[in-house]
Amino acid sequence: MNVIAKELNDLISQANPHIMDMLSDMGKALFFPKGILSQSAEAKIKAHKINATIGIAKQNGHVLNLPAVTRYITGIEPDEYLPYAPSFGLPGLREQWKKALYEKNPSLAGGDISLPVVTSGITHGISVFSDMWVNQGDVIVMPDMMWGNYNMTFTVRNQAKIVHYKAFDDALTQFDIDDFESVITAEAARNDKIITVLNFPHNPTGYTLSKSEADRVADILLKIAQSGTHVVAACDDAYFGLFFDEETSKESLFAKLAGKHERLAAIKLDGATKEDYVWGFRIGFITYGMAVADPAMMTHLNQALEKKTAGCIRGNISNASHPGQTLVLKAMADPEYHPQKQEKFSLLKQRAARIKTVLSDPAYRSGFDVYPFNSGYFMCIRLKGVNAEQLRLHLLDRYGVGLIAIGDRNIRVAFSCLEEMDVKPLFDIVLRGINDLRAD
């Protein structure tokens, strides 16, 4: 094993030996190289006369650039967006995102979390998480309705075994925490390490746990850790903040899990993608919330994990988009940032409310049931007696309406891109389409 990886592993073992047991084989082998990058970093500080270390081009003290490119970008200088960003991400953005995490999750107060490491969107964060914590054959407990791309990352790329619990009870009245508890407890009894991905607001159903449900989920995971099984809990908070109902938990489950037990690794995967409506910028973050017996070891543990994470990024995309990071950092410092976010939040909340009003009409029950939803971008319906894919194609061909079919019975509606005035016409067409298929 590389000597730097060994040093990091020694630090991690000293801080909390359970974390070493939870890392994947790749996670154990990862390190941040001291090669060109650290020599360049040293030169940046000390090479006052001539610095010929970096693999970019310079002219007259600034980054060399083509005006054909830079004339399209105003308000920031080429030096702020053309050079490579560090593999860890821009230091200022990491600090700012961490500060925001404490503001958005008041129960983190007093706890010690890592500095977020910047990824190329949340998908990349999930993939880095998977590389670092998931070995072939490891069990990941997830709901039977989930973002389809998890399959690609966890199963196809990293050969994990996904074990499902039922997302909702049959009557669609509530998130099925009883089933979550029984599935994860049974898997914990069979395995030394159990992994789960907690995604609220949830894709595809748009559900977020209530405060008491969130407490219960955190308790279940804590009990498993206390009983001796390692728990790796990733919180995919892609849609964080879009909570529309009063009783919905407004904090990430990460805040309830971070620092709670030495056998419980809490890992937050989030990003500016949906929170700041910058899908194409590709800016995500990985943040660790670990527990240690000796508080003096916390910084060492966090830094070791950050270095392994940055090493994983270095070996795969090298670093995330610099323009995207610069723009998000500038936006977060803009006095209009919070009011503008509030305005867009209200817009999405109104659309969700409009869907609830429209679907309260019992006429729709003849065609479909509605999954509980209170947050995020999406909601789902469960069809009665027609196939989801057949209906999807029929709506597309006959009515020019595009929706997503999930499994045999479910249709996902992205209200994030649906104007309020289109809500009733949409569901009327869905019902008509169902009746067309029944009549055929």
Ligand X SMILES: Cc1ncc(COP(=O)(O)O)c(C=O)c1O
Count residues contacting ligand X (CB under 6 A)?
A: 12
- Decide whether 188 or 411 has the Cβ nearer to ligand X: 411
- Decide whether 75 or 402 has the Cβ nearer to ligand X: 402
- Decide whether 203 or 208 has the Cβ nearer to ligand X: 203
Q: How far is the CB of 368 from ligand X (least distance, A)?
A: 22
- Decide whether 252 or 273 has the Cβ nearer to ligand X: 273
Q: Specify whether the CB–CB gap between 18 and 229 falls below 8 A.
A: no
Q: How far is the CB of 76 from ligand X (least distance, A)?
A: 22
Q: How far is the CB of 283 from ligand X (least distance, A)?
A: 8
Q: Which of residues 236, 275, 276, 306 is near ligand X by CB under 6 A?
A: 236
Binding track over 272-301 against ligand X, x by CB under 6 A = -x-----x----x-----------------
Q: Which amino acid is at 178?
A: D
**With CB under 6 A as the contact rule, which of the stretches 118-126, 223-231, 251-259, 407-415 interacts with ligand X?**
118-126
Q: How far is the CB of 341 from ligand X (least distance, A)?
A: 17
Q: How far is the CB of 284 from ligand X (least distance, A)?
A: 5
User: Residue 123, interface with ligand X (CB under 6 A)?
Assistant: yes
Binding track over 322-361 against ligand X, x by CB under 6 A = ----------------------------------------
Backbone angles phi, psi at 56, to 5 degrees: -125, 175
Q: How far is the CB of 278 from ligand X (least distance, A)?
A: 9
Q: How far is the CB of 210 from ligand X (least distance, A)?
A: 20
Peptide bond into 204 cis (omega under 30): yes
Distance between CA atoms of residues 289 and 126, nearest Å = 16
For 283-320, b where at least 16 C-beta lie within 10 A, e where not — what string?
bbbbbbbbbbeeeebbebbbebbbbbbbbbbbeebebb
Rg (CA), the chain: 23
Distance between CA atoms of residues 135 and 218, nearest Å = 24
Q: Specify whether the CB–CB gap between 209 and 198 falls below 8 A.
A: no
Neighbouring C-alpha atoms within 13 Å toward the C-beta of 132: 31
Restricted to residues 170-209, the positions that interact with ligand X (CB under 6 A) are 199, 203
- Decide whether 131 or 236 has the Cβ nearer to ligand X: 236
User: Residue 121, interface with ligand X (CB under 6 A)?
Assistant: yes
Beta bridge partners of 141: 163, 196
Distance between CA atoms of residues 437 and 439, nearest Å = 5
User: What's the token pair of residue 90?
Assistant: 């821009």
Q: Specify whether the CB–CB gap between 307 and 31 falls below 8 A.
A: yes
Q: How far is the CB of 21 from ligand X (least distance, A)?
A: 27
User: Residue 248, interface with ligand X (CB under 6 A)?
Assistant: no
Give whole-number Cα distances, 261 to 140, 161, 224, 252, 277, in Å: 19, 25, 10, 17, 34
- Decide whether 9 or 273 has the Cβ nearer to ligand X: 273
Distance between CA atoms of residues 89 and 10, nearest Å = 25
Q: How far is the CB of 362 from ligand X (least distance, A)?
A: 31
Restricted to residues 255-274, the positions that interact with ligand X (CB under 6 A) are 271, 273
User: What's the token pair of residue 82?
Assistant: 């053309």
For 331: left if phi > 0, alpha if psi spans -120 to 50, otherwise beta; the answer is: alpha
Q: How far is the CB of 313 from ligand X (least distance, A)?
A: 14
User: Residue 122, interface with ligand X (CB under 6 A)?
Assistant: yes
User: Residue 147, interface with ligand X (CB under 6 A)?
Assistant: yes
Contacts with ligand X by CB under 6 A lie at: 121-123, 147, 199, 203, 236, 238, 271, 273, 279, 284
